Amino acid sequence: MARLPRTLQNESDLYSLQAEWACAVLNRDKRGHYAQIGMNPMHPLFIGLDLPAPPAQPPVRGYPGGGWAGGAGRRSHSKKWMNPMRPSLMMGVNEINADPTHQSRHPSEGWEPYPPEFEPKIRWLWAPAFAGATMEADQQRGFLLENSMNPMHPSRGSGPGAEIDRKIRNFMRRQGVFDEGAGPAITRPMKKLNDKLNKALAARKSAGLLRQLRQDADGVDFSSNDYLGLSRSEELRRRIDARSEALGTPLGSTGSRLISGNSAAVETLESQIAAFHRADAALLFGSGYAANTGVFSCLLGAGDTLVMDELIHASMIDGARLSKADRIVFKHNDLGSLKQALQQAQGNKVIGIESVYSMDGDVAPLKEIAALAEEFDAAIVIDEAHSTGIMGPQGRGLVVGEGLEDRVFARVHTFGKGLGLHGAAVVGSKTLRDYLINFARPFIFATAPTPHTVASIAAAYDLLPEIEDARQNLFRLIDAFRERTRGQEQRWIDSRTWVQALIVPGNEKVRAAAQQLRNRGFWTVPIVSPTVPAGKERIRICLHAFNTVEEIHRLFASLDEILMSEDLRQVP
């Protein structure tokens, strides 16, 4: 039940406010109007609107507040004193366009019209505030909410109704429930939840943690995951176009793989991926996030244990949270900590790690982890997101590079980094593939990849063996970069990969440093806590095959100036 605003002290005020609004929509106004239920969600009783009351006058039966637009069996005494919002009364519209539910032709015993002196007030102030509008126009003005706004509300912002319209908007602005640029107004039924969301956003903003999307990713790219530059490759584009044209299939996938989205092209691609990564089978997922979530949520159950590196990706953590298995976290790349965790683990055991860690750029000691896994009868699941296309022969990944294909249970290879595309595949045994088809919900309930996506991934895998020059150039750039960090090791996280990180403690300080780099023409992104531990905030620098040694030298020259600048020292 709605709470009455403070201005409603008596029944006369209640009628007055109702007289200023059509209290219900045509299709809903049979539910009762001067009760606090079934009303238009924009009604003053719902948002506490304080508008001027009409001249003091006790309500009489027949006063429009008692039985509006078709109102709940209440009938005006005559057509003349019917609903003042009715278009046929106020706007000269043919009665065909008037409220079709109003029962004005059947007088009800004991009902009288409102006093004639009220007519000018109602006719020229209240009525034009609603008459002659459409739901479509109301939506354009931002007053439509869930198709339940009064269809007679003014929508043009001119004429006698504009004054009340302005009062409504101004009131909603004061209450914080109307934003000119935020689309439809939010009224009381949703205000509580919206207030909660705004409070959470304000708290995050005050803590300096508010995330925002940007469109100004310009300058020399030292930020993206496009390590091999395939997202800008004209050769890859040509091959994708050729494969897409050859498919001659519909544009869309039409459904999930288990309904209508499977195809010979998809299964051929999965066989191609499995062969490339030297596995028995592969299964496509829509993203690396979906693949990791799917695998970790369904592999184990109650009584089993997931043993996970403390720096694994959020997608693996979220998958583990969905699992019924117990979880034990071990210190990053710490074999002693891993051994202790395996000693504590019960039931079936899975070790979750990454090949290259995205925030530090270091590599998992995979051979040593594999030895511990065998000692404690545990299976390894490894996310190869940041190694796919780069590490191992022809970019087959760390596992193949170490010759451990038969000692790792499952690998997640993603296509959004080294391959420059989107999507992922889980590679492993045929049994694993069949199990995921049956139990991995992010696969079961997701739309299949489109034919164009399938063609794109296949073209990228075709190209990987042919771009050894790009990989070798990337390795040369890593050597040049590490050479420039000599003598500054305390500032840099030790990494021998394409992911480098400069420690700049403090969220505000690291943001300021990254912004100064952008001002100098380098696109870098600050990584702030809690994404990384407090005190370990950093500028992550990603190297790419298309970068140059000269760009690296300019980057370091800029960093030296920025880190020594008085402006940065003054940032808390």
State pLDDT tens for residues 24-36.
332 333 323 322 2
Q: Is 94 a catalytic residue?
A: no
pLDDT at 186 over 60: no
206 pLDDT tier (thresholds 50, 70, 90): confident
Reported as a single tens digit per residue, the pLDDT across 441-473 is 999 999 999 999 999 999 999 999 999 999 999
**Higher-scoring residue by pLDDT: 527, 46:** 527
Which segment, 38-42, 111-115, 252-256, is predicted with the most confidence on average? 252-256
Backbone angles phi, psi at 388, to 5 degrees: -60, 130
Label the pairing between strands 522-523 and 499-503: unpaired
**Higher-scoring residue by pLDDT: 104, 561:** 561
Place of tokens 């640029």: 181
3-state secondary structure of 526: strand
- Measure CA of the first residue to CA of the last residue in the chain; give whole Å: 49
User: What residues contact residue 121 under an 8 Å CB cut-off, 6+ apart?
Assistant: 54, 55
Q: Is 375 a catalytic residue?
A: no
pLDDT at 198 over 50: yes
| CATH of span 220-228+469-569 | 3.90.1150.10
The domain segmentation of the chain, as residue ranges, is 11-191, 220-228+469-569, 232-465
Instruction: For residue 207, count other CB atoms closer than 10 A to its CB.
Output: 11
Catalytic entry in 102, 153, 277, 313: 313
Mean pLDDT over each residue of the chain, to the nearest integer: 75
> Per DSSP, what are the bridge partners of residue 307?
328, 351
Catalytic entry in 226, 270, 309, 383: 383
Q: Is 553 a catalytic residue?
A: no
Catalytic entry in 20, 138, 226, 354: 354
Q: Is 313 a catalytic residue?
A: yes
Q: Is 163 a catalytic residue?
A: no
Backbone angles phi, psi at 383, to 5 degrees: -90, 115
Q: Which of 187, 158, 529 is nearest to 359 (CA)?
A: 529
Backbone angles phi, psi at 246, to 5 degrees: -70, -30
Catalytic entry in 77, 417, 509, 536: 417
Catalytic entry in 386, 509, 536, 544: 386
Label the pairing between strands 522-523 and 525-527: unpaired
Q: Is 508 a catalytic residue?
A: no
| Token output for 480 | 């040049």
Q: Which of 331, 375, 337 is nearest to 357 (CA)?
A: 331
Architecture of domain 232-465: 3-Layer(aba) Sandwich (3.40)
pLDDT at 540 over 60: yes
Q: Is 417 a catalytic residue?
A: yes
Catalytic entry in 83, 292, 358, 495: 358
Catalytic entry in 108, 194, 225, 337: 225
In this structure, of 28-37, 298-307, 487-496, 547-556, the range with the lowest mean pLDDT score is 28-37
* CATH topology identical between 220-228+469-569 and 232-465: no
- Find out whether 424 and 413 touch, Cβ atoms under 8 Å: yes
- What is the distance between the alpha carbons of residues 292 and 443, in angstroms, rounded to a whole number? 11
- What is the distance between the alpha carbons of residues 325 and 410, in angstroms, rounded to a whole number? 18
Q: What is the pTM of this model?
A: 0.69
Reported as a single tens digit per residue, the pLDDT across 113-138 is 434 444 333 333 333 333 333 333 33
